Structure 1
Amino acid sequence: MSEKISVNSASKLSKAITALTAMYRQSKFVVVSMRPGKDRTLDQNALWFALYQRIAQMTQIGDVEDARRYCKLHFGVPIMRAASEDFRHGYNMALLNLPYEVKLSWMGPCALFGPDGFPVTRLFNRAQGIAYTDRIVAEFSAKGVVFTDLLNEVAA
């Protein structure tokens, strides 16, 4: 049995300790992994989809999936390459020397990496997700894409 608990209050800390104790008593062997910070949220996923839709509507980039692929490759990959040696190594081995069109296509659904394409945004922590959003907004705002309504919705 695997369980994930986010601890953000005294009661959640107590729940985590109780669960860990019960698991240990049952199996006498438990693997624990901890890290500070928050997970990225479903709200981020919804915002990204809205950004991709707006980019597709207001540019010649293509459809929503084309916008998603572009953003993953141009903004997500550099964030992850800078943040993770394992990611950088995997990306370099699998995609670095391939033609641009192949890299771009593998960011979306494909036989090799599945329906979500090469793993990029699903690996983000919350801060990396924020950086990704900021980079998308900065580049496409400069090209005339308006995001203020979407960003105001999230802030509300």
Structure 2
Amino acid sequence: MKLCCDNSSDADLWLLNSCTVKNPAEDHFRNTIKKAQEQNKKVVVAGCVPQAQPRMDYIKGLSIIGVQQIDRVVEVVEETIKGHSVRLLGQKKDKGKRLGGARLDLPKIRKNPLIEIISVNTGCLNACTYCKTKHARGELASYSVAELIDRAIQSFQVLESGW
């Protein structure tokens, strides 16, 4: 099994992230899944499309990581390589209150070491007729102050170690 490849055709598994806000992005996602299947690749799909529409025909039988479960990507990839289909789509909650999205301490690749973007919340307040974001990401939920401070500290540590 190859862990890293220069060419997608050399990979044993394709991990495909998605956006559901606009139809062209979703169409590209569906076409990429089809291409992977034609090449007999194992496929893990992530992001808004499977979260908002987990019963779509073109993702049946594939492993799925929802928007709040991305921190479990290694587990899902390992199980998929073993031939299992995994579906993680649940909303994270604490005492009935919806929590923010994926953990803030996940590693990031920063294009500019002097800039860090820290999300303070996830989800959406509106229900615009042209947009599926609220359906995919859920109601607005905030990260805790402690999580935000920890991420800021982590960002400064990365900055200091790189200089």
TM-score w.r.t. the length of structure 1 is: 0.27
Higher RCO, Cα 8 Å, sep 6+: 1
Higher share in helix: 1
TM-score w.r.t. the length of structure 2 is: 0.27
* Structure number with larger C-alpha Rg: 1
